[in-house]
């Protein structure tokens, strides 16, 4: 079978991770190696927004050493977007524009790196190209710290965030118990709908320096139950560490800041919903009367490349590389996914998941991995997550600080 | 001159750092080597509280490999305290008790690791022992991320916090500019009275990935001036990163949360002062109307041993080791300090500072290191701080996570 000859474009979408650029490095280095098949390799500025605006970079002009540095550079080097395509039946403007740009630049390979929404976008674009009789191979590259993509054992980006969360929790654990007085620490972790990241704090407990209680969005939150849990630990230990997902809510759908009734009022009288960690810590201070500290791991949990998992960096690179190889081999409409052997040692095996299946389905922490009390995860989660955080990414250092990739970003012209 | 023969005790005081245990490792390994002079080496549980309560550990019973691991274990391994001794003329109870314990255990060497208050404590105890005719050599070991101890070029603990702040700011910088929409990020950094840590964010800017504006407690804060600064950067860049000390205040003494008038009200109607980052971010959102994010570096900036400066780890160890050597040589009533050559390459030289001089005097960022606008630091700060953050501490890793020291903590008995 003859190979599709033309140009390739790659875009990054949604919230960045520590390793999303490692997938970019995988796509770019592999695509640049496919001479005779792929002619030009483009990087879209801000995902599909860059395609619609015809703003993309000629990656062949980048220094290979800088592309190598992408492996250890956090965030989205090309820029990202949260642009949602309309349904084709409602509005075909963007689709037509995309086709026009693809034709103009002879783009025959489209790689898109993102989470659920981005895979949906990928799928819609591919279907439209097919309907229009325009030949283009489309492969999705997974990405999300939330680890909620359907069909894959885990998602690139999750393990590095998990390693950051576990390591930081271990360090905070030691810091939060230096005094012989009582103290409660609340650590707020990302993941609105899926508790994978918050559950990762259990890895710190596995090493003896972790939280006492873990609350995931998979379990209906009950403030009274939590208070009882905290009081029990406090009575015994005089110290409590709580890992809580930003997304926990009661069965009535109320989030913690609403529940505790803490709203801040600014100088203009406007109400402002506070962060979960702070309001929960304040609530516990009032109820229990000891010193408290609310900690939000904020952007750090998704951008701390200096603490990335080597396994995650390598797998993210592999995902990008595999996407190109599959597309060049004539495959289209798949997302690259991972699976592991059913038993025995952990090994990352590639699995291709049809975009039709993956789009817009969320994967959550299985309920049988959560304890009966609904306030911790069991050994099954540890066995799942531990292999993924192995190995320390070695970032390039210059003058005691990270040396991140510097791209020339030469705009493509026609 | 014959050496003072007897036992030694070491205690940790005040807020912990990433490297306070490296000083402990320096004290313990050196003291345990001084056979024939120092007989038993004790570690006080929770600083002088442990001495008053006769709760301390026999460090000779620890595995040397675990003492070595202390170098890379954050927080206070022995426990800390914030106990303030009364003035001797007001109440001599604690002093007499301390003398009683020192006599009972034949303690002839006392090493205390802490900041301003701890050096004051150290000094008071030493003076009392001298007045009582009890021979005991007392040496202070400096410690504080705040870098505000008088008489020393810098303090153990500062550089690791600075390296954490600079690295994290670089990573957040990349994360905070992935979208092509406007965004303002406020990073809140520790240091109530001295701006050394907040100024460290300038190291990230020195590498091209840092804040646009830096506000230190050394400069009177002016909300309108700051808003004008932010608007100016925003108009040009569409992205603003602000590093702000938790301690900035107006010349009338008002902190930002009071100033912006944002107080949170809980379910019981109690007012709660919010964190500086959050309230400032909310204020800017209202004034400028773009997306904002408030980030508090919280405990992480003082406990992130995984990102410690190798220079800092080594110097902290050296400070502990030197304290023991000086005391054994008959010196007393000094704090170990550092100085650097007046010109040429950075080198850490030891300097002994009389405890009388150091106690309760705060060192601040020199005003000539701050720009005229009062919203950034200049090259002088970079030249000062950059050598201190050099080198990456290699922490022990087990199963992808830190392996921190595990002490047996065998209680000393008489």
Express each pLDDT in B220-253 by its tens digit: 999 999 999 999 999 999 999 999 999 999 999 9
Q: Which of B73, B118, B113, B139 is nearest to B313 (CA)?
A: B73
Q: Do B300 and A304 touch (CB under 8 A)?
A: no
Identify all chain A residues contacting B265, using CB atoms and an 8 Å cutoff: 262-265
Q: Which of B266, B293, B295 sits opposite A286 (nearest CB)?
A: B266
Please identify which residue in the block is written with the tokens 């306030």. A375
Res A274: pLDDT: 60
Q: Point out the domain boundary residue: A303, A319, A336.
A: A303
Q: Which of B73, B207, B401 sits opposite A166 (nearest CB)?
A: B401
One domain, residues A114 and A195 = no
- Of these residues, A94, A120, A146, A212, which one is catalytic? A146
Question: CA separation (Å) from B87 to A331, B117, B124, B128, B333?
Answer: 80, 13, 8, 11, 18
Identify all chain B residues contacting A309, using CB atoms and an 8 Å cutoff: 400
Q: How confident is the model at residue B362 (pLDDT cuts 50, 70, 90)?
A: confident
Q: Do B167 and A397 touch (CB under 8 A)?
A: no
One domain, residues B22 and B32 = yes
Q: Point out the domain boundary residue: A260, A284, A303.
A: A303
What is the least distance, in Å, from the CA of A300 to any CA of chain B? 7
Q: Do B305 and A163 touch (CB under 8 A)?
A: no
Res A131: pLDDT: 97
% of chain B residues with pLDDT over 70: 96
- B21: left (phi > 0), else alpha (psi -120 to 50), else beta? alpha
Res A361: pLDDT: 74
Q: Do A171 and B74 touch (CB under 8 A)?
A: yes
> What's the token pair of residue A398?
């210059």
Q: Do A180 and B79 touch (CB under 8 A)?
A: yes
One domain, residues B192 and B169 = yes
- How many beta-carbon pairs below 8 A join chains A and B? 216
Q: Do A171 and B400 touch (CB under 8 A)?
A: no
Residue B383 lies in a domain: no
Range of the domain at B236: 162-303
Q: What are phi and psi of A326, to 5 degrees?
A: -65, -45
Q: What is the CATH number of the domain that holds B80?
A: 3.40.50.450
Q: Do A260 and B272 touch (CB under 8 A)?
A: no
Alpha helices by DSSP H, listed for B86-222, are: 93-104, 116-131, 158-175, 196-199, 201-206
Identify all chain B residues contacting A171, using CB atoms and an 8 Å cutoff: 74-75, 299-300, 303-306, 402
Residue A413 lies in a domain: no
Q: Do A261 and B275 touch (CB under 8 A)?
A: no
> What's the token pair of residue B313?
């780890």
Mutate to test the interface with A, among B175, B176, B386, B407 (most CBs of A within 10 A): B175
Q: Which of A178, A402, A404 sits opposite B79 (nearest CB)?
A: A178
Q: What is the CATH number of the domain that holds B169?
A: 3.40.50.460
Q: Do B178 and A75 touch (CB under 8 A)?
A: yes
With 0-12 CB in 10 A as exposed, 13-18 as middle and 19+ as buried, what is B227?
Answer: middle
One domain, residues A163 and A297 = yes
Q: Do A282 and B274 touch (CB under 8 A)?
A: no
Helix (H/G/I), strand (E/B), else coil: B184: strand
**β-sheet bridge partners, residue B183:** B239, B291
Residue B280 lies in a domain: yes
Contact yes or no for B166/B201 (Cβ under 8 A): yes
One domain, residues A312 and A276 = no
By CA distance, what is B170's nearest residue in A?
A: A402
Express each pLDDT in B90-114 by its tens digit: 999 999 999 999 999 999 999 999 9
Is residue B277 scored above 80 in pLDDT? yes
Please identify which residue in the block is written with the tokens 């030197």. B322
Lowest-pLDDT range, A216-230, B260-274, B350-364?
A: B260-274
Res B179: pLDDT: 94
**In angstroms, rounded to a whole number, what is the distance separating the alpha carbons of residues A110 and A102?**
9
Q: How confident is the model at residue B263 (pLDDT cuts 50, 70, 90)?
A: low
**In angstroms, rounded to a whole number, what is the distance separating the alpha carbons of residues A226 and A224?**
5
Res A258: pLDDT: 83
What is the least distance, in Å, from the CA of B389 to any CA of chain A? 6
One domain, residues B171 and B284 = yes
Q: Which of A180, A207, A264 sits opposite B264 (nearest CB)?
A: A264
Helix (H/G/I), strand (E/B), else coil: A313: helix
What is the least distance, in Å, from the CA of B245 to any CA of chain A? 17
Active site residues of B: 146
Q: What would the mean pLDDT of B309-314 be, rounded to a whole number?
A: 98
Q: What are phi and psi of A100, to 5 degrees?
A: -60, -45
- Mean pLDDT estimate for chain B: 94
Mutate to test the interface with B, among A16, A180, A204, A277 (most CBs of B within 10 A): A180
One domain, residues A242 and A178 = yes
By CA distance, what is B405's nearest residue in A?
A: A174
Mutate to test the interface with B, among A18, A166, A175 (most CBs of B within 10 A): A175
How many distinct structural domains can be found in chain B?
2
One domain, residues B143 and B227 = no
Q: How confident is the model at residue B342 (pLDDT cuts 50, 70, 90)?
A: very high
One domain, residues A116 and A195 = no
Residue A381 lies in a domain: no
Q: What would the mean pLDDT of B138-163 be, rounded to a whole number?
A: 96
Q: Point out the domain boundary residue: A303, A324, A353.
A: A303
Question: CA separation (Å) from B85 to B42, B117, B119, B121, B295?
Answer: 21, 10, 12, 7, 36
- Is the predicted ipTM greater than 0.85, yes or no? yes
Q: Which of B82, B81, B68, B83 is nearest to B21 (CA)?
A: B68
Q: Which of B67, B22, B82 is nearest to B305 (CA)?
A: B22
**In angstroms, rounded to a whole number, what is the distance separating the alpha carbons of residues A64 and A62?**
6
Q: Are strands A183-189 and A239-245 parallel, antiparallel or unpaired?
A: parallel
DSSP string covering B140-163 = EEE--TT--BTTSS--TTHHHHHH
With 0-12 CB in 10 A as exposed, 13-18 as middle and 19+ as buried, what is A88?
Answer: middle
Identify all chain B residues contacting A402, using CB atoms and an 8 Å cutoff: 167, 170-171, 207
One domain, residues A258 and A193 = yes
Q: Which of A80, A209, A262 sits opposite B267 (nearest CB)?
A: A262
Residue A278 lies in a domain: yes
DSSP string covering B322-388 = HHHHHHHTT--SEEEEEE--SSSS---EEEEEEHHHHTT-B----GGGB-TTSSSB-HHHHHHHGGG
% of chain B residues with pLDDT over 90: 90
What is the least distance, in Å, from the CA of B18 to any CA of chain A? 9
Is residue B264 scored above 70 in pLDDT? no
> What's the token pair of residue A319?
């995902």
Q: Do B171 and A267 touch (CB under 8 A)?
A: no
What is the least distance, in Å, from the CA of B373 to any CA of chain A? 27
Q: Which of B121, B46, B116, B44 is nearest to B81 (CA)?
A: B46
One domain, residues A259 and A216 = yes
With 0-12 CB in 10 A as exposed, 13-18 as middle and 19+ as buried, what is B206?
Answer: middle
With 0-12 CB in 10 A as exposed, 13-18 as middle and 19+ as buried, what is B388?
Answer: buried
Mean pLDDT by 10 residues, chain A (414 residues): 93 96 98 97 97 97 98 97 92 97 98 93 96 98 95 97 98 96 97 95 97 98 97 98 95 88 57 76 94 96 98 98 98 97 95 88 93 98 98 97 98 90
> What's the token pair of residue B297?
């570096």
Is residue B314 scored above 90 in pLDDT? yes
CB contact set of B187 (below 8 Å; sequence gap of 6+): B169, B172, B201, B211, B241, B242, B243, B244, B277, B295, B297
Q: Do A167 and B270 touch (CB under 8 A)?
A: no
Express each pLDDT in B161-215 by its tens digit: 999 999 999 999 999 999 999 999 999 999 989 999 999 999 999 999 999 999 9
Q: Do A168 and B304 touch (CB under 8 A)?
A: yes
CB contact set of A295 (below 8 Å; sequence gap of 6+): A172, A185, A186, A187, A188, A277, B296, B298, B299, B300
Is residue B76 scored above 90 in pLDDT? yes
**In angstroms, rounded to a whole number, what is the distance separating the alpha carbons of residues A118 and A30?**
22
Q: What would the mean pLDDT of B107-122 be, rounded to a whole number?
A: 94
One domain, residues A291 and A339 = no
> Degrees (nearest 5) of the Cα angle B184, B185, B191?
140
CB contact set of A75 (below 8 Å; sequence gap of 6+): A16, A20, A21, A303, B171, B174, B175, B177, B178
What is the least distance, in Å, from the CA of A278 to any CA of chain B? 9
Q: Which of A204, A268, A295 sits opposite B299 (nearest CB)?
A: A295
């Amino acid at each position: 079978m003859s190979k599709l000859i033309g140009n390739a474009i790659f875009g990054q979408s949604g919230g960045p991770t520590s390793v999303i650029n490692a997938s970019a490095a995988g796509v770019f280095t592999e695509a640049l190696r496919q001479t005779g098949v792929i002619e030009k390799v483009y990087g879209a500025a801000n995902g599909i927004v860059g395609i619609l605006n015809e703003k993309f970079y000629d990656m062949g002009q980048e220094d290979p050493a800088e592309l190598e540095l992408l492996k250890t550079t956090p965030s989205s080097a090309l820029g990202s977007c949260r642009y949602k395509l309309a349904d084709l039946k409602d509005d075909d403007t963007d689709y037509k524009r995309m086709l026009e740009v693809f034709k103009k630049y002879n783009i025959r390979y489209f790689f898109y790196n993102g989470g659920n929404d981005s895979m949906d976008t990928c799928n819609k674009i591919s279907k439209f190209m097919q309907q229009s009789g325009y030949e283009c191979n489309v492969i999705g590259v997974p990405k999300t710290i939330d680890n909620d993509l359907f069909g894959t054992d885990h998602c690139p980006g999750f393990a590095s965030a998990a390693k950051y969360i576990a390591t930081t929790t271990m360090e905070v654990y030691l810091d939060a118990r230096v005094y012989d007085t009582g103290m409660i620490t609340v650590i707020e972790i990302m993941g609105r709908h899926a508790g994978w990241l918050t559950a990762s704090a259990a890895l710190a407990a596995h090493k003896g320096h972790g939280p006492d209680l873990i609350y995931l969005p998979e379990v209906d939150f009950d403030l009274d139950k939590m208070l009882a849990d905290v009081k029990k630990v406090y009575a015994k230990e005089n110290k409590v560490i709580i890992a809580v997902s930003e997304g926990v809510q009661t069965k009535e759908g109320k989030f913690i800041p609403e529940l505790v009734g803490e709203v801040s009022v600014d100088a203009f009288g406007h109400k402002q919903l506070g962060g979960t960690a702070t309001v929960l810590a304040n609530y516990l201070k009032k109820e229990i009367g000891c010193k408290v500290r609310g900690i939000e791991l904020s952007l750090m949990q998704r951008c701390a490349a200096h603490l990335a998992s080597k396994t995650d960096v390598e797998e993210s690179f592999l995902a990008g590389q595999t996407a190109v190889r599959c597309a060049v081999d004539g495959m289209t409409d798949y997302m690259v996914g991972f699976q592991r052997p059913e038993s025995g040692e952990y090994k990352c095996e590639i699995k291709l998941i049809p975009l039709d299946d993956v789009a817009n389905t969320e994967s959550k922490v299985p309920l049988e991995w959560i304890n009966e009390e609904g306030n911790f995860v069991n050994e099954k989660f540890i066995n799942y997550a531990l292999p993924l955080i192995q190995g320390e990414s070695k970032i390039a250092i210059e003058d005691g600080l990270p040396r991140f990739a510097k791209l020339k970003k030469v705009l493509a012209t026609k």
